[in-house]
Structure 1
Amino acid sequence: MTIVHDSEESPAEPGGVPSPEEVEAELVAAGVQEPTRIDGHERRYPSTIGGALYLGVLAAVVVGLAVTATGHWRGGVHVISGALVAAAGLRLVLPARDAGMLAVRGRALDCSLLAVMGVALWILASTIPDQPS
């Protein structure tokens, strides 16, 4: 890794720490990372299809919370559980490179945890008896 200092007076020392910009430039040059700035503008959108799908899952969870807040708790929990099961399915079919924020750990663990939590919420919401008001 090449170390460049702004100061022309002292050359780069062999144990120096590169700046984040230098590290990013080398990662971009190696093809490991995409640039965070394109044409001088900060990128403001998901860079993978998985990022966009993650935002969709997140939006579904927010809708489920809104439904729950309006007093229809069972329907809201069903929406949230459906979003979790959908996230598990998306994580299962998307390649690791395109999974975006849906990929946290390994594919099997991500899918298992999302599916188990979604199914458990669905079962709990369906089996809890209605309480008299």
Structure 2
Amino acid sequence: MKLIWPRSRGSQFYLLLLVGVAIGLLMVVSGPWRAGLMVVGVTFVIGALARVVVSAEHVGMLRVRSKAFDVFWTATLGISLCLLALLVPPGPS
């Protein structure tokens, strides 16, 4: 079976971002939820940066709406998840 790598740079980033989110979610399920949430949050911030850097003709699956909308909401979600992981107080031991 031959694996097909996405052609556009944006779709390649998108695939890597999916892997990052999957790893973070596996970490959340397996126990270290703060670290997993940080991985997911940082992955979203990297996705926002990728949306800024990748040119319009190669954006691929990173494009949802306009560039400003995509960058704003992806970065907001990533930063919010990181802050959530850092600010939630630990429960009773």
Tell me the TM-score normalised to structure 1 length.
0.66
2:63 maps to what in 1? Answer: 103
Q: Is 1:47 matched with 2:7?
A: yes
Amino acid aligned to 2:66: G
1:41-71 deviation per Cα after TM superposition (whole angstroms, max 9, x unaligned):
xxx4312011111100100000001111111
> As a proportion of its length, which structure holds more helix?
2
Structure 2 residue corresponding to 1:88, chosen from 48, 69, 80: 48
1:3-38 deviation per Cα after TM superposition (whole angstroms, max 9, x unaligned):
xxxxxxxxxxxxxxxxxxxxxxxxxxxxxxxxxxxx
Q: Which runs of 4+ in 1 moved over 6 A?
A: none
Q: Paired residues, what number?
A: 91
Rg: which structure is higher? 1
Amino acid aligned to 1:116: T
1:77 maps to what in 2? Answer: 37
Tell me the TM-score normalised to structure 2 length.
0.92
Give unpaired runs (5+ residues) of structure 1: 1-43
| Larger RCO of the pair (alpha carbons < 8 Å, separation 6+) | 2
Give unpaired runs (5+ residues) of structure 2: none
Between the aligned residues of both structures, percent identity stands at 37
CA distance in structure 2 between the partners assigned to 1:51 and 1:120 by the alignment? 24
